[in-house]
Structure 1
Amino acid sequence: MQFRKRLPSLTALLMLEAVLRRKSFTAAATELGVTQAAVSRQIALLEEELGQPMFVRKHRAIEPTPACRILGASLAQSLSNIAETVDAIKTSGQDVVTIGATIAFSSFWLLPRLADFRSQNPGIQVRVVSQDEKIDLDSGEINIAIRYGIPPFNDGTVIASKDDFITPVCSPDYLKRRQSGPLSSTDEYIETHSSDPLWFSWAQWLDQIGASFDLKPSLRFSHYTETIFAACNGQGVALGWGALVQAFLDAGTLVALNDLTYKADGRYNILLPLRARRTVANDRAVAWLTAALHA
C-alpha cells in the first residue's frame, strides 16, 4: 500500500516509457494500442502529479526535460528487471515436468527408462509423483499422468494407450521346487490387495482357466512392488502384468510359470490435464513417453 501512495499511475509511467523510447506520442500510442489523445492525457496527468513538465513541445517534435530523462532511465531499468524476472519464471516452468503414476509403474517401468529421457533432454528437470490413489489432474501439480483404466476420463485427455497381458510368474528357484504341471492348491500364491475393479485377482484368473480348487493366498500385500519382490525371492507365484514385470523376465529373476496369458481389461494411458499448459518440457516428455510405451 505504501508503494501505491508514493507512485503515480502505472499506466502513465508505461506510456511515458513508450513515448521516450519511440520519441513520439503518435508512435507510442500505436504501440500501446490506444489513441494519441489518451497518451497525451496520461502524460498531462503525470506532469500535474509530479508538478513539472516531462516534455518540451516543439513544432512536430518533443524534447524530454532533465527530470523526464532521470525518470525514464529508472523506468527502463525497472521494467527490464521485471521482464527478465518474468522470463526466468517462464523458462523455469518450461524446464520442469512432473509425471504421475502408480508406485509399481514408476518403480518397474518409468524409473529404469528415465535415464534415456534425461540423456536426450539434459536441461529438463523431472519430478515423479508415485501413488496408488487416483492422481488429481485438476490440482495443476501434475503435467502428465500414466493411468491404468478404460478411457475416456472426465479429468484428462488421452494422448496414447497400450494394452497389457497377465501371466503367472515366479522365480526360477520356485519353478524348480514345485511339482510340474498346471497350477494347483499346493502352489504358494502371492496377491496384491487393490480396490481398483480393473485389478486382476487370482480368483479371476482361476475362473478364467476353469480351475476347480479354492485358492487362499499365502501372502497378500498392499503394493504390487512388494508382491513382485516376494515372487523374485522364491516365495510363490504372482500374477505378472507384462509391462511391469518384463524387465524381471528379461533379467531372469522371474520366469513365466506356463504359457497361459490373459488380456487385461484396461490399458495404460498417457493422460494430460484438461487445462494442460504447453511447455517445451511437457511436449518432449509426452513424445518420449508415447514412443517408450509403444517400443
Structure 2
Amino acid sequence: MRPLPPLAAVRVFEAAARHENFTTAANELGMTQAAVSHQIRLLEERLGMQLFRREKRRVILTDAARRAAAGIGRGLDEIEAAFAELRAEDQGTLTISTTQTFANAWLAWRLGSFQMDHPEMAVRLLVNNNLSDFASEGLDVAIRSGIGPWEGLDAHRLLTQDFTPMCSPAFLKRHGGHLTPQDLTRLPLISAHDPAWRQWLSDAGIDARPLNVPGVRLDSQANDGHAAMAGQGVAILSPFFWRMDMAEGRLVRLFDQVSTLGHAYWIVCQQHRRSVPKIKRFRDWLLTEMDG
C-alpha cells in the first residue's frame, strides 16, 4: 500500500498553495474557508511539519511546502489527464447487450442509422439470452424481456411481449389453407415447450394440458421464426418482430388473437449512469424508433 495522505487533503493543499489564500482556494473547490483550514491542519499533523505560515490575514507557503507543491501540481495534472483520456475512451464506444430475438428480428436491421447519426461513436453489440452483469461485461445498456422494474437499474419499457401462431404460406397450403385453434393440437409446433403456447391455446379456449405434438425445439424466437418460414411447423411469435416477413409473404399470421405472459421488452442501464450522454442518446433514439 502506498503511504499517501488522503487525496481530498492533497487537492486542498494544491489549491491553497497555488493561490496562497485559503478563501480563494475554498471558492475554487466549493468548500468553506473553515473546511480548507481543517484539511490543511490534518495534513500538517499527518506529515508532522508546518506547510503554511499564518501572518495576520494571509498565509505563506514554507520553503519545503513550496518545493513539494510544484510536484504535487504536476501529479494532479497527470491524474486529471488520465481520467480525461478514460472518459473520452468510454464515450467513444457504446456496448449494448440484447437477446437473439431482439437483435436478429429488429435491432440489427436499424442500428446502422444510429451509427450514421453518431459517426464518432463505435457500437459494440453483444447477443445472448443470459442475464447481464454490467460491471464484469463492460456493458452500457441491455435490452431484455421480463416483468420489471429491477432494483439498481434504470428501466424504460419498450413494448409488451405478446404472441400469436404463425407459419409459412406453403405450410398453410399443405394443411388445407385454413386452420382453427383446435387444429394446432395435432400439427407440428415449433418449440412446443414454450409456455407461450399453453397460454395462447388456453386463451383460445383449448385445453393444452395434454399437448404432445411433434416439432423441433429451438432456443430463441428468432430461430423459431426462421424455422416457421422454412415450413417446419407453426411457431408462436411476437407480431412486432415479424411485420416485415408477414408483409413480404414469408409468414402468415393465422389468427387475430394475441396473448401475453405479462412480460415486456425493456432498455436498462445502471441507475448512476442513466445520464451518461452516450447512453441517453441511444435510449432516446431507441424509444423514438420503437414508436415509429
TM-score of the pair, normalised by structure 1: 0.73
The aligned residue for residue 264 of structure 1 is 260
Equivalent residue letter for 2:254: N
Aligned residue runs from structure 1 range 16-165, under 5 A = 16-28=13-25, 31=28, 33=31, 34-35=33-34, 38=38, 41=41, 70-135=67-132, 142-153=139-150, 156-165=153-162
**Larger deviation: 112-121 or 18-27?**
18-27
Contact 1:191 1:217 in 2 (8 A): no
Aligned pair in 2 of structure 1 residues 287, 19: CA closer, same or farther (>3 Å)? same
Q: Identity percentage over the alignment? A: 26
Equivalent residue letter for 1:159: H
Alpha-carbon distance in structure 2 between the residues aligned to 1:238 and 1:105: 16
Equivalent residue letter for 1:280: P
For the aligned residue pairs, the C-alpha RMSD in angstroms reads 4.0
2:120 counterpart SS class: coil
Aligned pair in 2 of structure 1 residues 31, 46: CA closer, same or farther (>3 Å)? farther
1:236 counterpart SS class: coil
The aligned residue for residue 246 of structure 1 is 243
2:145 counterpart SS class: strand
- 5+ unaligned residues in a row in structure 1: which ranges? none
Aligned pair in 2 of structure 1 residues 138, 54: CA closer, same or farther (>3 Å)? closer
TM-score of the pair, normalised by structure 2: 0.74
Q: CA deviation at 1:140?
A: 8.6
The aligned residue for residue 189 of structure 1 is 189
- 5+ unaligned residues in a row in structure 2: which ranges? none
The aligned residue for residue 172 of structure 1 is 169
2:196 counterpart SS class: coil
2:271 counterpart SS class: coil
Q: CA deviation at 1:144?
A: 3.3
Aligned pair in 2 of structure 1 residues 19, 222: CA closer, same or farther (>3 Å)? closer
Contact 2:155 2:269 in 1 (8 A): no
Aligned pair in 2 of structure 1 residues 61, 251: CA closer, same or farther (>3 Å)? same
Contact 1:15 1:43 in 2 (8 A): no
Contact 2:162 2:259 in 1 (8 A): yes
Alpha-carbon distance in structure 2 between the residues aligned to 1:29 and 1:130: 49
Contact 2:164 2:259 in 1 (8 A): no
Equivalent residue letter for 2:258: Y
Q: CA deviation at 1:126?
A: 3.3
Aligned pair in 2 of structure 1 residues 241, 55: CA closer, same or farther (>3 Å)? closer
**Larger deviation: 269-278 or 65-74?**
65-74
1:200 counterpart SS class: helix
Aligned pair in 2 of structure 1 residues 13, 46: CA closer, same or farther (>3 Å)? farther
Q: CA deviation at 1:83?
A: 0.8
Q: CA deviation at 1:143?
A: 4.1
The alignment covers a number of residue pairs equal to 283
1:166 counterpart SS class: strand
1:191 counterpart SS class: coil
Alpha-carbon distance in structure 2 between the residues aligned to 1:11 and 1:220: 59
Matched, 1:216 2:192: no
Q: How big is each residue's C-alpha offset from its partner over 1:24-63, in whole Å with a ceiling of 9 and x where there is no partner?
A: 35533554534375577578779975xxx97898897777
Q: Which has the larger radius of gyration?
A: 1
Equivalent residue letter for 1:261: Q
Q: How big is each residue's C-alpha offset from its partner over 1:116-157, in whole Å with a ceiling of 9 and x where there is no partner?
A: 222222233434343334445797955433333444555644
Contact 1:160 1:269 in 2 (8 A): yes
Which of these residues, 265, 286, 293, is aligned with residue 283 of structure 2? Answer: 286
Contact 1:166 1:240 in 2 (8 A): yes
**Larger deviation: 283-292 or 125-134?**
125-134
Alpha-carbon distance in structure 1 between the residues aligned to 2:21 and 2:152: 51
**Larger deviation: 78-87 or 161-170?**
161-170
Alpha-carbon distance in structure 2 between the residues aligned to 1:142 and 1:227: 27
